[in-house]
Chains A and B, each alone.
Chain A
Amino acid sequence: MVVPIAYYLVLSAILFSIGVAAFLVKRNIISIFMSIELMLNAVNLTFVAFAHHWHQVSGQIFVFFVMVVAAAEAAVGLAIIIALFRTRSTLNVDQVDLMKL
């Protein structure tokens, strides 16, 4: 049996919306970080689904790119989080608001 492409897309949309909602609601930087990863992977799912559907390999290659960038971003992001925690002793983004006029 072939799972229709719409299923994948709906799942992906749900995952992405959860990511967005969590990004907006969460105050802990690590949670926000995780919600970003969730959004990225939701997109990855779409890529893979379309690659399969259209029998095109380029979608899968894109996914590899996204994963590589996400890994790099995770490394940099976590480094920033550690540096932030060392200076401010908090991970609450609402208390990190020095960059304003």
Chain B
Amino acid sequence: MTSSLHLWLIPIVPFAGFLVNGLLGRRFPKALVTTVAWVATLIPFLQVLNIALHFGSLTLPYSENVGTWIAAGGFHADFAFALDQLTLIMLLVVTGVGFIIHLYSAGYMAHEDGYWRFFAYLNLFMFFMLTLVLAENFLLMFVGWEGVGLASYLLIGYYFTKDSAANAGKKAFVVNRIGDFGFLLAMFLLVAHFGTLSFNAIFSQIAQHPEWQGGFLTAIALFLILGATGKSAQIPLYTWLPDAMEGPTPVSALIHAATMVTAGVYMVARAHMIFNRSPFALTTLAIIGAATALFAATIGLVQTDIKRVLAYSTVSQLGYMFLACGVAAYSSGIFHLLTHAFFKALLFLAAGSVIHALSGEQDMRVMGGLWKKLPITFWTMTAAVFAISGIPPFAGFFSKDEILYQAFISPNPVGKIVWFVGLLTAGLTAFYMFRLWYLTFFGKSRTPEAAHDDHGHGHAHGVHESPWIMLGPLVVLAILSVIGGWVGVPAAMGGHNEIEHFLSPVMHAQYLSYEQVSVAMSTHPQAVVHPAPETAEGSNSLALLLAALSVTVAAIGWFIAHLLYFAKPELPEQLATKLRGLHSLLLNKYWVDEFYGAAIVAPVLFLSRYALKGLFDTGVITGGSLALGYTTQGIGSVVQRIQSGNIRSYAGWLALGAAALLLLTYFGFGTHLSF
């Protein structure tokens, strides 16, 4: 296809929406604000759908250059956009889920102040996220990367009059900055070694040098991992995501579940050429992913705030994606990203619907028995819970199972370990999700009747099902959560794993000719990552066995949740008292926030307050300028006596001066002054 796809339109339309709503929205009626925001998201969605329909006829990877951005000496970066299979999947997720959530938000935010501001920020987010996904070089990607951080900050702090929300926004921004620092260093290294930031240029250079492995590529990969851990909330930088739940629920669904936090996974998948050359970085990634998955899941077991459970679950699921990337199964990571976007967005939106129904209540301890009152929310959420727990044939089963399978068969020495951790986490995931399900929808209602009218929404009159503008998106996402996984049914179960085949042109040595691969294989066997093993007849039984195992583990998780929160609801209390130490360790999130507070925040604050502010700012800067001022004033107060107003004293000075000049002329500084 020769004609231009005008990819640049995809991000620019939401930006126009942001400008219109951001500049003029205050004076618009709500209906107009909504229309602008919807149209600004719908147009890119339709464009992406159009591209997807004609995808087969495109020559890939397609790229277009809108203009030169930076040209400095030998280095230059362009406003260049690229499209390949990976981009298309991300585009579909971002615009599709994004549009659905825009619809939902109109219902959820209907009674909030600053309605226009919310939609303006949401469109701004879409702009940056689409820039990030479409960018053809690291620098433009970084623009999107920073921009989504900004939008996330603005939206977390949406209720900025609430201290906790403002602080959560700040925390998210600052923690993300640490990750961005890693990303920046990685870019500097890339420029230093490759002289360019263009994906295509860098990856083909790497492909032409099969002898490059480890070394500086490991350094770049590790810095990229640091960047990814910040944006995608992995250990050690995950702490901002649970706090980010201060934002409105649609924001949690869009930014902090479906799209922005997956940017790290996307970036790793995009830069897989670099990661493939560094077994050390891959192992690090796998360990970080597995550790985060387990760690966050255990915290999720005991949280009582419905959104916080989901937040830790998001961190945990992102861990799975990193685990997948760490065993070089990028397609599986992206597959899980896709299904996760569906079911986690659905979980958040359904939770939002529950919160909406309860007029702002988020504590699961005072919910219960809601399934009859909120039937549609209940059934859609059920689909999501089954999906995330990995119950076949829901979406999460296929993607999670694919990751576990890839980890198990990975030649990486930590493969089996991360597989086991992943399996354990699957059980924990099923447990906490069904715990949430039982606590929210089953048992007796624990809602104190009087509490209804106290909360923010201000339209509370009993528990009520949400309007259709909110339920519609739930239904669509529920359908996707059921069928979304069917694009990746593995061969062992009679499927074709379409998504992996779809992504394989991106993931597998597209820059290498066959000869180069074989040369590289013979000289540096570990330098080239094994191609995805074709599931032979022999390993089918292994795949089925592993799948059965993970389903069993999930079922055990479900069973325990059923036992504790449905059959014997008094048991959890007793367990909590019996295992008080463990319970409070989990409830307090391993005191990681406190640890960071004591180990990093407090010293930094101390340094800033005393060394930098006390000594340097007050001492050197303020002191220096004050000293300058006072010195001038002092000299002035002495010298001003000369200006007495007395003419004769002036005349005296004049005469003295003239006499001095005369004397100088005669006996002065040598010949150059004499006339």
Contact = CB atoms under 8 A, between A and B. Distances in A.
A98 B640 CA distance: 14
Contacts of B643: 99-101
Given A20-B655, A24-B655, A101 B640 contact: yes
Nearest to A26: B648
A27 B645 contact: no
A99 B649 CA distance: 13
Interface in B394-442: none
Contact of A96 (B647, B652, B655): B647
A94 B646 contact: yes
Interface string B644-665: 1111100110010000000000
A11 interface: no
Interface string A1-39: 000000000000000000010011001000010000000
B644 A97 contact: yes
Given A20-B655, A24-B651, A98 B646 contact: no
B342 to A, nearest CB: 80
Contact of B651 (A23, A96, A98, A101): A23
A96 B647 CA distance: 8
A79 interface: no
Contacts of A68: none
Contacts of A24: 648, 651-652, 655
A93 interface: yes
Contact of B645 (A20, A23, A32, A97): A97
Interface in A67-94: 93-94
Nearest to A35: B651
A67 B517 CA distance: 105
A3 B655 CA distance: 31
A96 B655 CA distance: 20
Contacts of B644: 97, 100
Nearest to B640: A101
Given A24-B651, A24-B652, A93 B646 contact: yes
B574 to A, nearest CB: 87
B260 to A, nearest CB: 65
Contacts of A99: 643, 645
Contacts of A94: 646, 648
Contacts of B648: 24, 27, 93-94
A35 to B, nearest CB: 10
A97 B641 CA distance: 13
Nearest to A93: B647
Nearest to B652: A24
Interface of B: 640, 643-648, 651-652, 655
Cβ-closest 4 pairs across A and B: A100-B645, A97-B645, A93-B647, A101-B640
7 contacts: A23-B655, A24-B648, A97-B646, A98-B645, A100-B643, A101-B640, A101-B643
